[in-house]
Structure 1
Amino acid sequence: MKIEQIYTGCLAHAAYYLESNGEAAIFDPLREVQPYINRAKKDNAKIKYVFETHFHADFVSGHLDLKEKTGANIIFGPTAKPSYDAIIAKDNQIFEVGNYKVKVIHTPGHTMESTTYLLIDEKDKEHGIITGDTLFIGDVGRPDLAQHVVSELTEEKLAGHLFDSLRNKIMPLSDDLIVYPNHGAGSACGKMMSKETSDTLGHQKKTNYALRADMSKEEFIKELLTGLTAPPGYFPQNVLMNIKGYESLDTIMERGEKPLSAEAFEAASNETRALMLDTRDAKDFAKGYVPNSINIGLDGSFAQWVGEMIPDIKQEILIITEPGKEEETITRLSRVGYDKTIGFLKGGFKSWQEAGKEFETINRITVAEFEKMYQNETPLVFDIRKKSEFDSEHIIGAINVPLNEINQHLSQFPKDKAFVLHCAGGYRSMIAASILKQRGWDNFTDMIGGFDEAKKGKIELSKYIEPTTML
């Protein structure tokens, strides 16, 4: 069977391309659809269907642009109620793609419309299942997202539906089926996903905690809900965009790809309420940046941290990036619904400097310098990693303020006492540093390389590491 996984690491997202006899289907596409169109052209195939497993929360799907550009029909599972034209399939309904068949299996639980698609080859042999967020490798979809859109859908109710879907719809299927999930490790749509992005269903029945045959519904619900952290704030907003519709990516690109001189950029910043977003590497940002801009680097989990740190997806944004990265930046912002880019600094930060504009820097120290400081004065240390990371191991005396909670805990950072900031490797701590500087803090230092660098054997820091046993 000709099925391809198209994986995007930034979002830990998998879309799928299916082709047979000149007809193609796309499953759960990202916002930018041209790569899918190009893939079909390579096969001289026409995209017939766009299958959606559910209304996604962590990204804006490209289904509407694909329909507009190719004429493909959008397919949702039972109970879906989009605000645009789409085929709402019935449970067990079959769609033909060339010589292949795609069978609809309604699997509510992650959301009520969640649907798994069973792939059947030209010999009527069942090949695999595209599971969306119903079943991951090593995990299942979290059942607490839909309640942020429909309040009566409690996480307990959805978890119960998911238990029934897995037991009655998924587990009876053949062990040799290949599981094709929508996400891998790093996605916030589950809590313990594997780095693997496909597996056999039989192996998952043996290894996935949620598929244990001897588990009661009550045990399943308790285990599934234990340890869930709050979902990113942008999730409900993305769900609504996927339900109601959105602007074409072409329109968004046209609005955002406006080169602005340093003077025009400064004027736009002063005349609008736009947020200045600098997407350069942390080390480059630290050496010099436009005052009041915040740093979220393209080379990390960019889209996810944008979603975590910028509460309103309708926020106007001015971007500062490495020259030539403007289109990529606007595209990746749009993947999570941030469609209001209104221009970029032409020539990047260098043009700002050449125009003689004022700029700011971030103080940084190496781990070796931190060690000497620690020995002499025991500095105040803020660790902005996740609580689970902190609980596993941290510097003695450090205070944990996870990055995604920093705006709610700004009062913990003193303005009358110096402190050191660190994360695991330096990406998140620079985001935090830029936010603190924007809010008026100037008495801190960022630790280069973060906790991971501190643990390396070449720097004797182990005596300052405090293991913490997780209960």
Structure 2
Amino acid sequence: MKIEQLYTGCLAQGAYYIESEGEVAIIDPLRETQQYIDKAEANNAKIKYIFETHFHADFVSGHVDLAKNTGATIVFGPGASTEYDIHSAVDNEEFKIGKITIKVLHTPGHTLESSTYLLINENGKDHAIFSGDTLFLGDVGRPDLAIKSDLTKEDLAVMLFDSLRNKIMPLADDIIVYPAHGAGSACGKNLSKETVGVLGEQKKTNYALRADMTKAEFVKEVLDGIAAPPQYFAKNAMMNKTGYSNFEYVLKKGDSSLNPKEFEALANHESALVLDVRPQSEFIKSHIPNSIFIGLNGGFAPWVGALITDIKQPIILVAPEGKEVEAVTRLSRVGYDNTLGYLQGGIEAWVSSGRDIETLESISAETFANRVKSGGINILDVRKDGEYTASHLEDAQHFALDFINNNMNQIHKNKTYHIHCAGGYRSVIAASILKARGYNNLVDIAGGFGAIKKTDLPTTDFVCPSTL
């Protein structure tokens, strides 16, 4: 028996390759599926089943393409309905992969069809669970993402409580837990940085698995502090339910080089969004007017999904040389399949063609501190609500980058804003979006709040009421 976790940091997502006696099961595959086919072929094995723990909202799974390319059967939990062929399992149904068995445990709550897959080894012993978004390390899945459900998030939270106590907690403490996500995912609120654990440890440390917890307490705690889901979640979930364009087609279309004239024509006449995915330091120095920055070196795909509201938006790329295919791939992982190409030769080719560029003013935290002491400057903090609450500059205006499209009316185009996040990535994203909307008086704070805290500027720190 072989179990391999294939973890993707940008999405904080774990897919799984399981093999026994020449037969393979894949759980929650990514959009680019050739990696699984290659792995199976290298081991002289055949992919037999593709198990989906639920209709994912935070990424587009590769199950449809993988089934077409291998003949494997797609398995969803009870009640799943799709526009392509699947096997909708019943609770406790078992599937054989070589000498091992995978048993379906229907665990609704995160979504209605959510299921946990129990792996029983060749000796008949319960070995591991692939818990999807039902159980994370340190947390459980948010119960507010069901597609077109008449149930409330409170109703789903009750279901999740029952699923955890009736299906998961009775299992042995030594069972390995393989979740779908780790820290950084928006599918929960307190996920561990660890991506593999054991169930006994979760029973001791995971707040949602407290033995003395009442149903009412669970509902309150699991819903407390959940931010609104990113706008692309519902769209990705629907793509996973209805199907999507073939990945190889999407990649071929996006991996198309464009000279500056062709690139400009697409931006001007096809309303293509110019997406600059270079490091923020390069964007600051020079970028195409009205381009949006979301760098590959950060949480690229989730930020694309949160901020580009039209999932069918035509996109053209300014990318580091050799990173074009990676950018198209990572866009497709969250359903942005309409990339039309990239600027051949990058920003240097644009400059050489005589076309205009713009820059973004960026200053050190020390220079910023001196300006604050001189008085009269506007500060915009674009960190998440929890970060701001924990500690912030006293006179800073705040709204989270996640919801910048809804909050631009809070600032004024004729004022200058000094923008910061935690480390400098999100502030440049925010500045690029504001510049594209006509806010031209913007200053980025290099190093963000991490650098600001090293100056002598006073901050307001949150004090827990229980300590007062």
**Does residue 367 in structure 1 map to residue 365 in structure 2?**
yes
RMSD after superposition: 1.0
- The alpha carbon displacement at 1:468 in A equals 2.3
Q: How does 1:99-138 map to 2 (within 5 A)?
A: 99-138=99-138
Q: Secondary structure at the match of 1:112?
A: coil
- The alpha carbon displacement at 1:208 in A equals 0.5
Name the residue aligned to 1:287. Answer: 285
Name the residue aligned to 1:14. Answer: 14
Per-residue Cα deviation, 1:90-142 (whole angstroms, up to 9, x for no partner): 11111011111101111111001000000011111111000000000010000
Name the residue aligned to 1:467. Answer: 461
Name the residue aligned to 2:5. Answer: 5
For 1:307 and 1:79, locate their aligned partners in 2 and report how far apart those are by CA, in whole Å.
28
CA spacing shift, 1:470–1:437, aligned 2, 3 Å: farther
Which stretches in structure 2 are left out of the alignment for 5+ residues? none
Is the Cα contact below 8 Å between 1:78 and 1:88 reproduced in 2? yes
Is the Cα contact below 8 Å between 1:392 and 1:470 reproduced in 2? no
Q: Give the TM-score taking structure 1 as reference length.
A: 0.97
Q: How does 1:158-237 map to 2 (within 5 A)?
A: 158-237=156-235
Name the residue aligned to 1:305. Answer: 303
**Which stretch of structure 1 is more off in the superposition, 368-377 or 299-308?**
368-377
Name the residue aligned to 2:251. Answer: 253
Match of residue 276, structure 2, among 272, 275, 278: 278
Q: Give the TM-score taking structure 2 as reference length.
A: 0.98
**Does residue 141 in structure 1 map to residue 141 in structure 2?**
yes
AA at the equivalent of 1:208: N
AA at the equivalent of 1:434: S
Name the residue aligned to 2:58. Answer: 58
For 1:329 and 1:218, locate their aligned partners in 2 and report how far apart those are by CA, in whole Å.
44
AA at the equivalent of 1:51: F
**Does residue 43 in structure 1 map to residue 37 in structure 2?**
no
Q: Secondary structure at the match of 1:11?
A: coil
For 1:468 and 1:125, locate their aligned partners in 2 and report how far apart those are by CA, in whole Å.
48
For 1:163 and 1:200, locate their aligned partners in 2 and report how far apart those are by CA, in whole Å.
19
Q: How does 1:441-456 map to 2 (within 5 A)?
A: 441-456=439-454
**Does residue 351 in structure 1 map to residue 345 in structure 2?**
no
For 2:413 and 2:219, locate their aligned partners in 1 and report how far apart those are by CA, in whole Å.
45
Q: Secondary structure at the match of 1:381?
A: strand
For 2:462 and 2:155, locate their aligned partners in 1 and report how far apart those are by CA, in whole Å.
35
Equivalenced residue count is 465
Per-residue Cα deviation, 1:218-274 (whole angstroms, up to 9, x for no partner): 111111111110000000000110000011101101211111100110011111121
Q: Secondary structure at the match of 1:415?
A: coil
For 2:317 and 2:149, locate their aligned partners in 1 and report how far apart those are by CA, in whole Å.
36
- The alpha carbon displacement at 1:199 in A equals 1.1
- The alpha carbon displacement at 1:470 in A equals 4.9
For 1:220 and 1:46, locate their aligned partners in 2 and report how far apart those are by CA, in whole Å.
42
For 2:286 and 2:303, locate their aligned partners in 1 and report how far apart those are by CA, in whole Å.
21
AA at the equivalent of 1:395: L
**Does residue 92 in structure 1 map to residue 86 in structure 2?**
no
Is the Cα contact below 8 Å between 1:391 and 1:469 reproduced in 2? no
Name the residue aligned to 1:31. Answer: 31
For 1:104 and 1:373, locate their aligned partners in 2 and report how far apart those are by CA, in whole Å.
61
AA at the equivalent of 1:11: L
AA at the equivalent of 1:468: F
Is the Cα contact below 8 Å between 1:262 and 1:355 reproduced in 2? yes
Name the residue aligned to 1:329. Answer: 327
- The alpha carbon displacement at 1:151 in A equals 4.1
Name the residue aligned to 2:413. Answer: 415
Per-residue Cα deviation, 1:409-440 (whole angstroms, up to 9, x for no partner): 11222222222000001100000000111011
AA at the equivalent of 1:465: T
